[in-house]
Amino acid sequence: MNTNHVICRNKVYVEDEYVGQFESFDTQGTARTLGNTATLLMPLYALGADGTSGNVASRFRTENGSRIKVCSEIKVYVWYDSWNVVKMEHESYPEILMFSGWIEHIAEGFPAKLYLRDNSYILRFGAIEKAWTENATIQSVMEDCIPIAQAAFEEERTRLGFMREIPQLTYNLHGKNVQAKSTPLSFRNWGGRSPFDTMQKLMQLNVLYGGVGNDFNVFIGAGVTESDRPLIALDTRYNVIERDIVPIDGRFVDYDVKVFGILKNGRQYTATGGYCTSQSESQKSGFDREYGGETIRVHSTLNTIADIQGYADEQLKMLRENRNKGTIKLLLYPKLEIMDWVTYEDTVFENLSGGYYILDYKFSASSKGYFQTVKATDKVFVL
């Protein structure tokens, strides 16, 4: 950008129809929770002519009934316009699909407040009657859950009067976002839960990452590697406006590592990394409570006590390496996603420079501008 002046642009589509611009928009998500949420304010001037008599009619309604209602598909686009001071001409930067999902709830008023969920919203419909009592693969759980959710959601939309077909959710074992394991994992789940709750429990029990992309692809797995990730460069000289990354020397942190697995005889076993001398919360230093207080829980597919214990010790060894982590705040470009891997250059504190994984994401758009805030770490621990 050859300017210090930009104009924030946006547009909102509901059921593929343009309904105007938002007043403010916020979205956030984390790799440990299935799906992102968002809040959208539509202003009073989101009105339009009805196309026949010239009368002004709210874009919340059409001649076929309410357009903006629960289960409506919604897409939010954002971009910058600017004046290029070198070329002395107007420039418009690429439009970014910031959010693709569904309206979960409408708080009527002026402005109208819409509560949104991304494509994981589809998984909240339907109920799983199957009960898992033994180990299960991620792929088998997905193959059971996705069709039930898809059918139930489409049935609900039909009941509400929607005629448009929607894309089908898919699951790719070899997706770019995570490295899913095809080996069975420890999973016990009774019937009656929604597909969303079933998947979320699978993620929590096995400490997995997950989400649903704009391409309707569900991803659940153990982590990523930087070798096959697109290169995204962040630099405090160009696109980073704030950062709070803490340089941590893990040698001095009292980590609590728990690794659990299923032995050959079917019994569950939990190993503790290190010397099993975890201090109570009251005995830990402030540094330990801040950076080592959270228990690190990991699932292992190994099936002997010695192997599981060895794996726990290896996890602790990895934690005790340097592990910088913290927040990075930047403008609209480049657009980041959860599970992205970025190269970060810090011109003030060079020891903070390096590769980071994005595990939490927040985007805020208001009269103050467009800002992305991410939580990043230089290590992701995989199964």
Q: What is the pLDDT of residues 75-89, one digit of tens each?
A: 999 999 887 777 777
Tokens of 38: 């968002």
**pTM for the model:** 0.79
**DSSP states of 257-326:** EEEEEE-TTS-EEEEESSSS-PPPTTTS-HHHHHHT-S-EEEE----SHHHHHHHHHHHHHHHTS---EE
Q: Is 105 exposed, middle or buried (0-12, 13-18, 19+ CB in 10 A)?
A: exposed
| C-alpha to C-alpha distance for 286 and 56, rounded to whole angstroms | 61
Query: What are the beta bridge partners of residue 345?
Result: 235
Residues 6 or more apart in contact with residue 163 via CB below 8 angstroms: none
Picking from 74-83, 290-299, 373-382, which range would have the lowest pLDDT averaged per residue? 290-299
Coil, strand or helix at 159: helix
Query: What are the beta bridge partners of residue 325?
Result: 246, 377
Residue 151 resides in a domain: no
Q: How many CB atoms lie within 10 A of CB 226?
A: 13
Tokens of 379: 């290590």
For residues 343 and 237, state if they share a domain. Answer: yes
Q: Kindly tell me if the per-residue pLDDT of 109 is higher than 80.
A: no
Q: How many domains are contained in the chain?
A: 3
383 neighbors 299 (Cβ within 8 angstroms): yes
Residue 179 resides in a domain: no
What CATH number does residue 369 fall under? 2.30.300.10
Q: Is 55 exposed, middle or buried (0-12, 13-18, 19+ CB in 10 A)?
A: exposed
Tokens of 199: 């998947």
For residues 108 and 255, state if they share a domain. Answer: no
Residue 189 resides in a domain: no
Tokens of 158: 């039909």
Residue 254 resides in a domain: yes
Matching residue, tokens 């309604």: 61
Query: Domain of 333?
Result: 226-247+324-383
Picking from 198-202, 215-219, 300-304, 308-312, which range would have the lowest pLDDT averaged per residue? 300-304
CA-to-CA separations, 3 to 8, 89, 334, in angstroms, rounded: 14, 11, 17
Tokens of 83: 């004046």
For residues 308 and 349, state if they share a domain. Answer: no
Tell me the angle at which helices 138-159 and 195-206 cross, rounded to the nearest 10 degrees: 150
Residue 163 resides in a domain: no
pLDDT per position as a tens digit, 226-283: 555 567 888 888 888 888 887 766 666 777 788 888 888 878 888 887 665 555 666 6
Residue 130 resides in a domain: no
Residue 138 resides in a domain: no
Q: Using a pLDDT cut of 70, give the percent of the chain over it.
A: 79
Q: How many CB atoms lie within 10 A of CB 311?
A: 20
